[in-house]
C-alpha cells in the first residue's frame, strides 16, 4: 500500500477496494472508515450509519463474504479485499430473492436497517442455505430494527431458505 | 355484519417504497449530497446546569476549512417550543445551560473531520450551578431554579375532576391505592436526526428527517421572521421517528442560520449519543392510583395522582401531561374521575412524545392496580375487565365521545386464542400469564398550535394519458407505510388500480397541507382527505364515461381502472381512455379533498387533549417464564387483539402491531436511559441502551376484531393501529410475572434484578412468617 | 462520530511489530480486529498516536494441535473462527460455545481472541473458560518469547503483565484430563450484551467423584478470578446437589463485584452462586469439555 505525505505531514494511502465486483482506487487517510469510503467516495449510500460503534448493524457489508460493521473497519485495512454492499445484490432489474422476499413479506418499514439486515441474511444463506428460525435470529441479532419486531424479517428470510432435498420436512 | 367488499383496500399490497428500500436506492436525508455543501454540527454543554460566562470562537474560526461559527449572538433570541403554551427554548443558550447536551454554538465547515476538530476549539467558560435531577426534589422548596419564569420548577400543573370521586370512594365496597414508577426511555429511531438547509435568494429549503414538515415550516418561519411561503420543508425517505422527530431541533434552526451566513447548503446531523442527549423521549412518571369498586368489581371512581419528570424544557410535555390522565377512563366505564398532575422541570434532557404519548406508563400502573384489586376480590382479572369494559356509543367522564368500541370482543378473543382459562390454572411453576388492555386516539382532535387550518388535505392528478395517477399529500411516511395505504385509498376511491399510483408526499411546497405523522392520525385524517380527492376524480370520470358510452351515469360501475355498464357488462371502457379524453376536453384531471374533525370534547381546561374522532381498543395477553433464581424473564408468547376498524393493508397493519409491541417489550424489560450523578447519560449508545434483538423478541400473535357497524368517523371505518399495542405491554408483563411468581415489581423496567429482588423479598417474608 | 487522527503502520512480521511498539512507546497501540480499540478512540477514551496493525500476520491465524503442547490458537483468530473450528469443537466445545455467545455476528467476524484477552476487560468472555482449562498465552517480543499462565496475565481492569513491546501471539490449551467444562455468560440481553456475571468450570470426574475442578469467574472482580475455596471444597468429594450449592456460596464469597448500571454487587454475587452451581452441574453431566 503506497503512502504519500502532504505538506502538513498528513499521510494518505492509496487503496484499492473491490466493491460489488468493480475495482475502485482511492486515496484515504488512516482514520478513514470503510463506511465513509462507501458512502462519501463511492456514493453507495445504501450502507447506513446508525450508531458508529458496531451495535446496530445498519452499516453491515460483506467483507470477503463475511458480514462486518463497516463503521469498525479502517479503509486501509480493507485494501485489496472484496466488499459486497446492498447495491451489489441482484442483477440489473432482477432483485435478489431476499430482496423480493422482504417486499413480499412486508419485512421492512422505515427501511433504514434493511440494507444491513439483508446483508446479514445474505451471508447466512450463502453459508447455510437451509437455516432454522433460531439460526436466522442469531444471524440478524446484530442488526437492530426499531419498526418491525423482526417478525416479518424472520419470515422473509426463512421463505428464502432452500428446501432440503427430497421435499419439505 | 355489514361489510363492504373492496377492490384495492383490505389487501396486502406491496409497499410503494419497497423496491427502493431493499436495493439501497432510497435516499434518506443523510444520504443527500448537494453541490458546494458544508457540514455542520452543534456544540453542546458538558454541564447539567451552568451559567455561560464567555464563549470564545476565535480559535475555531481560524481553523482552515471552517466557514462559520455561530452562537446565540448570531441567531434570533425569540423563544420557541413545539408547545405554544410554554415557549422556553432558544436556538442557542444565552445566559445558562440547563442539561448536559444543551445547545451552545454551531460550526459549519468543509467536511466532517474539520467540524469535529473545530468544535473542540470553541472555548466556553462556565460557572457551574447546583442541579436537580429528580422531579420530586425539583418541586421541593429551595431546589435549584431551572427557569426564572417558572417558580418552583413547575412546568405544568393539572387538576381535573369529573363527578364526585370522594363520594364514590365513600360508597365503595373496596378502595385500593397503589403507587408505581415509570422510567425514562428513548425512541431510538435507527436513522439519526439529520437536516440540510439551503438558503437561496430569500427562500429557505430544509430537507429534514421530520414527522411534520408543517410544524417545522411554521416554527422555522416564525423563528427567522420569514413568511411560511418562503420556507420549504421536504421530508426525504425517513428512518423512523416514534415521536422523537416531531419537533424541530437545533439541526434545523442552526442549519438555517449557518446556511444564511455562509450562502451554502449545510448538512447537520446528530451522532447517536447526541440523539440521546437531545432526547424528547418518554417521560418518567410517578403514578399514584386509587380505585373504588363495588362488591361485584364494578369501578365506581378513580383518582390518578401523578408527577412527571419533564427534563429541562417543555417539548411536547404539556400535551404529554394531559394525555397521561386523559386516556385512562377510555377503557372502563365509570363516572367519577379525578386527575392531578405536576410536570416538573429537572436538569435532564427534555422529554416529549413517544409512541403511545403519555399513556403507556399510566396504563401499566392502572392495569397492575386492577389485577391487584381482582386478586383482593377473588376475581379472574379478565372477568373484572369484562364487567367494566367500555361499550360502543358512550362518553367518558372527561367528555370523549366513543363511537365504535369492541373492547369486550377483544378481551373475549384474547381469552380464547391464548388459552387463558386453561393456562390460569395449569401453567407449571415459573410460568405465568397476564392481561392488560389499552386504547388510543385515531388522530388528535386539535392541532398542536391554535389554527383553523384543516388537519389534512390531498390532491390527485391523473396523468394526461390516464396510465398513472399521482397523489399529492402532506402526510408523512416515516416508515409506517402511509404512502402505501394512502395510494390504496386513493385508488379505491377513484376506481383505479394501486399499481398505477405514484405519490409525492411531505413537501410543503408541492403537497397540500397536513399536520404530519403523530397521534396515529394519518389513516383516518389524511385518508379522509384522500378519499374525498379520489371520489372527485371518480365523479368526473363517470360523467365523462357516461358521455362517451352514451349511458346514464347511474348505470355505470367503475373499479380497478375499468368502467362498465351495469345493465350490460359487455359494454366497457377503460379509466385511462376516459381520463385521456377528459384531459383533451377539459384540461388536467384533478381531484382534491380536505379533512377537519368535528368539534370534539368538553370545555374544561385541557379538554382538547385526548379528543379524537375515533378510538381504537386492544387487549393483550402474554405468557412469561421466570427463572426463580435469577429473575430472568423470558416472554414466550404475546397475543394482541386489536379493534382498529377497517383494514386498508393487512400486512402493514400487523407490522404496526408487531412494531408497537416490540417497543412495549423493550420498555417493559430492558430499556431505560440512565444518568450519572452529574446528569450525564451513562448509556447513550445502542450497546447499553438495550433494544430487544431478534433473539429477545417473543412469538407474536396479532388478531383483529371488527364491530357490527363500521366506525362512522373514519373513511371506510378506519381507526388507529400504530401506537395502541405499545400501551398494554408493560402492565401485561407485570401481571404475567405476578401470575408466575406471586411478586409485584412496582417500577419499570421489570428488570431481571428487580424481579430477583422481589423474589428474594418474598422468600424472606415466607421464612419469617 | 469521528475517529481522531493517528498514524497507521501495517507490520509485516511479529518482529517488526515488536520493534515498532518498543520504539513508539505507550502511545502506540496494536490494531487487530479493532472492535475494542476503534470504539474507544471514537469515544475519546483513548487517543493513541499510532496504530500498529498486525492483521496481515497470517501466521497468527491458525488453530492446531501440537504434540506436547496441546491446542494452539493463533491470537488473530476471530471469535467466529474459534466458534467454527472443527478441532476446537472436537476438543473444547465449551470454548466454541463461549465464542458463540459473544457480541454479535458482525463483531465475531472481526474481533479476535487475542484482542479479547489483551484488552483485559473484566467482563470479557474468553478468559474465564480459558483460565478454567489452564490455558497459557505466549507473549513475544524482540527480546524473546515467554509463556504466561492466563490466570496470571491480568493485573486489573484493562491492565495486564504484557509489556509495551510484546505481542500476544497464541493461546495454548495444554493437554489436561478435564472431562467436562462449560462457560455461562449471564447478560441482560440475548445478543450484544456484556456479561454481568461469567462463570466457567472445568472438571475431572470419575463417576460421582470429583478428582479435580477449576472455577473461573468473570465480571465480578477487577480481573477474572479463580474460586479456589469452592474448588477445594469439591476436590476429592462425591458430588451431590448440596455440595454444589455450597460451592456456589463459596464462589460468591470469593467474588468482589462492583455495582454499576448493569447490576448491583449484591445481585452479581448471588448470580455467581447460582451460575457456579449450575455450571458445575452442567459440566459434570454433559460429559464433554
φ/ψ of A34, rounded to 5, equals: -55, -40
Between CA C15 and CA C162 the distance in angstroms is: 16
Provide the 10 A C-beta neighbour count for residue C267.
Answer: 23
Q: B756 and C264 in contact by Cβ < 8 A?
A: no
DSSP-assigned letter for residue B57: -
My answer on whether C21 and C86 are in the same domain is: no
Nearest to A141 among C8, C42, C104 (CB): C104
C164 vs C23: CA distance, rounded Å: 9
> In the prediction, which pLDDT does A164 show?
54
Nearest to B639 by CA among B691, B689, B703: B703
**Angle between helix B527-548 and B482-494 (nearest 10):** 30
Nearest CA in chain C to A36: C2
Euclidean distance between CA atoms B222 and A16, whole angstroms: 50
Q: Which domain holds residue C260?
A: 180-286
Q: Residues of B667-685 as b/e, b for ≥16 C-beta within 10 angstroms?
A: bbbbbbbebeeebbbebbb
Whether residue C184 sits in one domain with residue C270:
yes
- pLDDT (0 to 100) of residue B3: 53
CA B22 to CA A99: how far, in whole Å?
6
C139, C173, C207: which is the final residue of a domain?
C173
- CA dist A150 and A127 (Å) reads 21
Q: Give tens-digit pLDDT for B9-49.
A: 999 999 999 999 999 999 999 999 999 999 999 999 999 99
B479: nearest CB among A43, A52, A147: A147
Contact criterion met (CB below 8 Å) for B236 and B303: no
Asked if C184 and C287 touch (Cβ cutoff 8 Å), the reply is no
pLDDT tens-place string over residues A57-71: 999 999 999 999 999
Same fold for the pair B32-129+190-240+245-278 and B284-445+602-768: no
User: Where residue B5 falls among pLDDT bands split at 50, 70, 90?
Assistant: confident
Contact C63, C88 (CB under 8 A): yes
How confident is the model over B492-526, as pLDDT tens digits?
999 999 999 999 999 999 999 999 999 999 999 99
First to last CA, chain B: 57
Coil, helix or strand for B201?
A: coil
Q: Is the pLDDT of residue A144 over 90?
A: yes
Residue-wise pLDDT for C33-49, tens only, equals 999 999 999 999 999 99
Per-residue pLDDT, C46:
97
Residue holding cell 398513472? B468
Instruction: State mean pLDDT over B314-325.
Output: 97
State whether C96 and C147 are in the same domain. yes
What are the beta bridge partners of residue C185? C198
* Residue C2 placed within a domain: no
Contacts of C242 (CB under 8 A, 6+ apart): none
C65 and C149 inside one domain: yes
The strand pair at B501-505 and B556-559 is best described as unpaired
Q: What is the mean pLDDT of chain C?
A: 97
**Contact call for residues B600 and B316 (beta carbons, < 8 A):** no
C36 in helix, strand or coil? coil
Asked whether A107 and A115 are in contact (CB, 8 A), the reply is no
| DSSP state at residue B99 | S
Q: Give contacts of A142 with chain C, Cβ < 8 Å.
A: 103-107, 191-192
Chain A's closest residue to C43, CA to CA, is: A53
Whether chain B has a CB inside 8 Å of the CB on A138: the answer is: yes
Q: Are B258 and B110 in contact (CB under 8 A)?
A: no
Round to whole Å and give the CA distance between B741 and C261. 25
A111 touches chain B (CB under 8 A): yes
Could you give the number of structural domains in chain C? 3
Q: Considering chain C, what percentage of its residues have pLDDT values greater than 70? A: 100
Tell me, yes or no, whether C152 and C240 share the same domain: no
Residue C32 falls inside a structural domain: yes
Structural domain spans, chain B: 18-25+455-595, 32-129+190-240+245-278, 284-445+602-768
Given a cut of 50, whether residue A167 has pLDDT beyond it is no
Chain C residues whose CB is inside 8 A of the A74 CB are 8, 31, 34, 38, 53
Fold of B284-445+602-768: Aldehyde Oxidoreductase; domain 4 (3.30.365)
| Sheet with strand B562-565: strands edge to edge | B556-559, B562-565, B572-574
Q: Which of B22, B272, B694 sits opposite A108 (nearest CB)?
A: B22
Partners of A15 in beta bridges: A26
> Across the interface, which of B113, B696, B753 has its CB nearest the CB of C267?
B753
Q: Which chains touch A (3 or more CB pairs under 8 A)?
A: B, C
Residues paired with B633 in a beta bridge = B626
How do residues B182-200 score in pLDDT, each as one tens digit? Answer: 999 999 999 999 999 999 9
Task: Give domain B18-25+455-595's CATH number out of 3.40.50.2300, 3.40.50.300, 3.30.450.40, 3.30.365.10.
Answer: 3.30.365.10
Q: What pLDDT does residue A1 have?
A: 82
Domains defined along chain A, listed by start: 2-88 (3.10.20.30), 97-159 (1.10.150.120)
Q: Which residues, at least 6 apart from B58, have a Cβ–Cβ distance to it below 8 Å? A: none
Regarding whether C223 and C188 lie in a shared domain, the answer is: yes
For residue C141, what is its C-alpha cell? 517480543
CB contact (8 A) between residue A72 and residue C35: yes
pLDDT of residue B246: 96
C-alpha cell at C46: 483513548
CATH of the domain at C40: 3.30.43.10
Asked if the Cβ–Cβ distance from A72 to C110 is below 8 Å, we say yes
Q: What are the cell numbers at A91?
A: 442483477
- C10:A66 CB<8 A: no
Residues C41 and C69 in one domain: no
Cα–Cα dist B566/B479, whole Å = 40
Domain B32-129+190-240+245-278 class, CATH top level? alpha beta
C-alpha–C-alpha distance, residues B592 and B457, integer Å: 7
pLDDT digit string, tens, across residues B467-495: 999 999 999 999 999 999 999 999 999 99
- The average pLDDT across C241-247 equals 98
Percent of chain B whose predicted confidence (pLDDT) is above 90: 98
Distances (CA, A) of C97 to A128, C80, C86, C197, C225: 19, 10, 12, 16, 20
Q: Quick check: C224 pLDDT over 70? A: yes
From chain B, pick out residues whose CB is under 8 angstroms from the CB of A141: 693-695
Range B430-452 average pLDDT: 97
Report the CATH number that the domain containing residue C274 is assigned in CATH. 3.30.390.50
Chain-centroid distance, C-alpha B383:
31
CA A142 to chain centre: 12
Q: What is the ipTM of this complex?
A: 0.97
pLDDT 10s digits, B404-426:
999 999 999 999 999 999 999 89
Rounded Cα–Cα distance for residues A52 and A70 (Å): 9
Nearest to B662 among A31, A149, A154 (CB): A149
Residue B594 cell numbers, joined:
380536505
Q: Is the confidence at residue A169, as pLDDT, over 50? A: no
Element (H, E) at B118: helix B112-121
Residues in chain A with CB shorter than 8 Å from the CB of B652 are: 106
The pLDDT, as a whole number, for residue B769 is 79
**The dihedral of CA B632, B637, B643, B648: what is its sign?**
positive
Chains that touch B (3 or more CB pairs under 8 A): A, C
Question: Minimal Cα distance from A64: which residue of C?
Answer: C109
Nearest partner of B710 among B617, B643, B645, judged by Cα: B645
Are residues C111 and C36 located together in one domain of the fold?
A: no
Q: What is the pLDDT of residues B579-625, one digit of tens each?
A: 999 999 999 999 999 999 999 999 999 999 999 999 999 999 999 99
Instruction: Please determine, for residue A168, whether its predicted confidence score (pLDDT) is greater than 80.
Output: no
pLDDT value, residue A48:
98
Nearest CA in chain C to A34: C3
Amino acid at each position: 500500500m503506497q503512502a504519500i505525505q502532504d505538506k502538513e505531514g498528513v499521510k494518505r494511502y492509496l487503496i484499492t477496494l473491490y466493491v460489488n465486483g468493480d475495482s475502485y482506487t482511492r486515496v484515504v487517510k488512516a482514520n478513514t472508515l470503510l463506511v465513509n469510503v462507501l458512502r462519501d467516495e463511492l456514493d453507495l449510500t445504501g450502507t447506513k450509519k446508525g450508531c458508529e460503534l458496531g451495535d446496530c448493524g445498519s452499516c453491515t457489508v460483506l467483507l470477503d463474504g463475511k458480514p462486518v460493521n463497516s463503521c469498525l473497519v479502517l479503509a486501509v485495512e480493507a485494501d485489496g479485499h472484496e466488499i459486497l454492499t446492498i447495491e451489489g445484490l441482484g442483477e440489473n432489474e432482477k432483485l435478489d430473492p431476499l430482496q423480493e422476499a422482504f417486499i413480499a413479506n412486508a419485512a421492512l418499514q422505515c427501511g433504514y436497517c434493511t440494507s444491513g439486515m439483508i446483508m446479514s441474511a445474505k451471508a447466512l444463506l450463502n453459508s447455510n442455505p437451509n437455516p432454522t428460525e433460531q439460526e436466522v435470529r442469531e444471524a440478524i441479532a446484530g442488526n437492530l430494527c426499531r419498526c418491525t419486531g423482526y417478525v416479518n424479517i424472520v419470515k422473509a428470510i426463512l421463505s428464502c431458505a432452500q428446501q432440503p432435498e427430497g421435499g419439505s420436512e | 355484519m355489514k361489510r363492504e367488499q373492496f377492490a384495492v383496500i383490505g389487501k396486502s399490497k406491496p409497499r410503494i417504497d419497497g423496491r427502493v428500500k431493499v436495493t439501497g436506492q432510497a435516499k434518506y436525508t443523510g444520504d443527500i449530497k448537494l453541490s458546494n455543501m458544508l457540514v455542520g454540527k452543534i456544540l453542546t454543554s458538558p454541564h447539567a446546569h451552568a451559567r455561560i460566562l464567555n464563549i470564545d470562537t476565535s480559535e475555531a474560526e481560524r481553523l482552515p476549512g471552517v466557514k462559520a461559527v455561530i452562537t446565540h449572538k448570531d441567531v434570533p433570541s425569540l423563544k420557541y417550543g413545539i408547545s405554544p403554551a410554554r415557549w422556553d427554548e432558544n436556538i442557542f443558550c444565552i445566559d445558562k445551560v440547563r442539561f448536559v447536551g444543551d445547545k451552545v454554538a454551531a460550526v459549519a465547515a468543509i467536511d466532517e473531520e474539520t467540524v469535529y476538530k473545530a468544535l473542540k476549539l470553541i472555548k466556553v467558560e462556565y460557572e457551574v450551578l447546583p442541579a436537580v435531577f429528580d422531579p420530586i426534589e425539583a418541586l421541593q422548596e429551595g431546589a435549584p431554579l431551572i427557569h426564572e419564569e417558572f417558580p418552583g420548577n413547575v412546568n405544568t400543573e393539572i387538576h381535573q375532576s369529573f363527578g364526585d370521586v370522594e363520594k364514590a370512594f365513600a360508597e365503595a365496597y373496596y378502595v385500593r391505592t397503589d403507587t408505581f414508577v415509570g422510567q425514562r426511555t428513548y425512541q431510538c429511531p435507527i436513522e439519526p436526526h439529520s437536516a440540510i438547509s439551503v438558503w437561496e435568494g430569500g427562500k429557505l429549503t430544509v430537507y429534514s428527517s421530520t414527522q411534520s414538515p408543517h410544524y417545522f415550516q411554521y416554527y422555522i418561519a416564525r423563528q427567522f421572521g420569514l413568511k411560511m411561503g418562503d420556507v420549504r420543508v421536504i421530508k426525504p425517505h425517513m428512518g423512523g421517528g416514534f415521536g422523537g422527530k416531531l419537533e424541530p431541533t437545533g439541526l434545523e434552526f442552526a442549519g438555517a442560520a449557518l446556511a444564511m451566513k455562509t450562502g451554502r447548503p449545510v448538512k447537520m446531523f446528530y451522532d447517536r449519543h447526541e440523539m440521546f442527549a437531545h432526547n424528547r423521549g418518554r417521560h418518567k412518571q410517578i403514578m399514584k392510583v386509587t380505585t373504588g369498586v363495588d362488591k361485584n368489581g364494578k369501578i365506581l371512581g378513580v383518582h390518578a395522582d401523578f408527577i412527571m419528570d419533564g427534563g429541562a424544557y417543555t417539548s411536547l410535555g404539556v400535551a404529554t401531561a394531559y394525555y397521561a390522565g386523559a386516556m385512562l377512563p377510555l377503557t372502563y366505564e365509570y363516572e367519577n374521575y379525578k386527575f392531578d398532575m405536576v410536570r416538573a422541570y429537572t436538569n435532564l434532557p427534555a422529554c416529549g412524545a413517544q409512541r403511545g404519548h403519555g399513556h403507556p406508563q399510566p396504563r401499566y400502573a392502572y392495569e397492575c392496580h386492577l389485577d391487584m384489586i381482582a386478586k383482593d376480590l377473588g376475581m379472574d382479572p379478565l372477568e373484572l375487565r369484562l364487567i367494566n369494559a367500555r361499550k360502543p356509543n358512550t362518553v367518558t367522564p372527561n367528555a370523549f365521545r366513543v363511537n365504535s368500541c369492541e373492547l369486550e370482543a377483544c378481551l373475549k378473543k384474547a381469552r380464547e386464542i391464548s388459552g387463558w382459562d386453561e393456562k390460569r390454572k395449569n401453567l407449571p411453576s415459573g410460568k405465568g400469564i397476564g392481561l392488560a388492555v389499552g386504547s388510543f386516539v385515531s388522530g388528535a382532535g386539535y392541532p398542536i398550535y391554535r389554527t383553523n387550518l384543516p388537519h389534512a388535505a390531498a390532491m390527485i392528478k391523473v396523468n394526461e394519458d390516464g396510465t398513472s395517477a399521482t397523489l399529492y399529500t402532506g402526510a408523512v411516511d416515516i416508515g409506517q407505510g402511509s404512502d402505501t395505504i394512502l395510494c390504496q385509498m386513493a385508488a379505491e376511491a377513484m376506481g383505479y388500480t394501486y399499481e398505477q399510483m405514484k405519490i409525492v408526499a411531505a413537501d410543503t411546497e408541492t403537497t397540500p397541507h397536513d399536520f404530519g405523522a403523530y397521534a396515529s392520525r394519518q389513516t383516518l385524517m389524511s385518508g379522509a382527505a384522500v378519499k374525498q380527492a379520489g371520489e372527485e376524480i371518480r365523479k368526473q370520470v363517470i360523467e365523462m364515461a357516461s358521455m362517451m358510452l352514451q349511458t346514464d351515469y347511474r348505470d355505470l360501475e367503475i373499479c380497478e381502472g375499468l368502467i362498465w355498464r351495469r345493465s350490460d357488462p359487455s359494454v366497457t371502457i377503460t379509466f385511462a381512455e376516459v381520463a385521456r379524453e377528459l384531459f383533451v376536453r377539459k384540461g388536467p384531471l384533478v381531484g382534491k379533498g380536505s379533512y377537519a374533525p368535528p368539534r370534539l370534547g368538553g370545555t374544561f381546561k385541557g379538554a382538547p387533549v385526548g379528543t379524537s374522532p375515533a378510538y381504537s381498543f386492544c387487549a393483550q395477553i402474554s405468557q412469561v417464564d421466570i427463572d426463580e433464581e435469577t429473575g430472568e424473564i423470558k416472554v414466550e408468547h404475546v397475543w394482541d387483539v386489536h379493534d382498529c376498524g377497517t383494514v386498508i393493508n393487512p400486512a402493514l397493519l400487523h407490522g404496526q402491531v408487531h412494531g408497537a409491541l416490540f417497543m412495549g417489550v423493550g420498555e417493559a424489560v430492558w430499556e431505560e436511559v440512565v444518568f450519572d450523578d452529574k446528569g450525564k447519560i451513562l448509556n447513550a449508545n445502542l450497546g447499553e441502551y438495550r433494544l430487544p434483538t431478534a433473539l429477545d423478541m417473543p412469538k407474536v400473535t396479532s388478531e383483529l376484531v371488527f364491530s357490527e357497524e363500521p366506525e362512522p368517523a373514519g373513511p371506510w371505518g378506519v381507526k388507529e393501529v400504530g401506537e395502541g399495542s405499545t400501551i398494554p405491554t408493560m402492565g401485561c408483563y407485570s401481571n404475567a410475572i405476578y401470575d408466575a411468581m406471586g411478586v409485584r415489581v412496582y417500577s419499570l423496567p421489570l428488570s431481571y434484578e428487580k424481579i430477583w429482588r422481589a423474589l428474594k423479598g418474598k422468600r424472606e417474608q415466607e421464612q419469617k412468617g | 462520530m469521528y475517529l481522531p487522527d493517528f498514524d497507521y503502520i501495517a507490520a509485516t512480521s511479529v518482529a517488526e511489530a515488536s520493534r515498532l511498539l518498543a520504539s513508539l512507546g505507550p502511545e502506540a497501540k496494536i490494531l487487530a480486529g479493532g472492535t475494542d480499540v476503534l470504539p474507544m478512540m471514537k469515544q475519546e477514551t483513548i487517543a493513541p498516536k499510532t496504530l500498529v496493525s498486525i492483521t496481515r500476520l497470517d501466521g497468527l491465524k491458525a488453530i492446531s494441535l501440537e504434540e506436547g503442547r496441546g491446542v494452539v490458537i493463533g491470537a488473530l483468530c476471530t471469535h467466529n473462527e474459534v466458534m467454527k473450528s472443527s478441532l476446537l469443537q472436537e476438543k473444547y466445545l465449551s470454548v466454541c460455545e463461549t465464542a458463540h455467545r459473544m457480541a454479535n455476528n458482525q463483531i465475531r467476524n472481526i474481533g479476535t481472541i487475542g484482542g479479547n484477552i489483551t484488552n483485559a476487560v473484566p467482563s470479557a468472555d474468553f478468559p474465564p473458560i480459558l483460565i478454567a482449562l489452564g490455558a497459557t498465552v505466549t507473549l513475544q517480543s524482540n527480546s524473546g518469547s515467554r509463556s504466561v499462565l492466563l490466570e496470571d496475565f491480568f493485573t486489573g481492569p484493562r491492565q495486564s503483565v504484557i509489556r509495551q513491546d510484546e505481542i500476544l501471539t497464541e493461546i495454548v490449551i495444554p493437554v489436561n484430563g478435564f472431562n467436562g467444562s462449560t462457560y455461562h455468560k449471564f447478560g441482560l440481553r440475548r445478543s450484544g450484551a456484556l456479561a454481568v456475571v461469567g462463570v466457567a468450570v472445568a472438571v475431572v470426574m470419575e463417576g460421582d467423584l470429583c478428582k479435580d475442578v477449576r472455577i473461573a469467574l468473570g465480571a465480578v472482580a477487577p480481573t477474572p478470578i479463580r474460586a479456589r475455596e469452592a474448588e477445594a471444597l469439591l476436590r476429592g468429594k462425591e458430588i451431590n446437589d448440596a455440595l454444589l450449592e455450597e460451592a456456589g456460596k463459596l464462589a460468591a464469597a470469593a467474588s468482589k463485584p462492583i455495582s454499576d448500571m448493569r447490576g448491583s454487587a449484591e445481585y452479581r454475587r448471588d448470580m455467581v452462586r447460582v451460575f457456579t452451581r449450575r455450571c458445575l452441574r452442567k459440566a459434570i453431566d454433559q460429559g464433554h469439555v
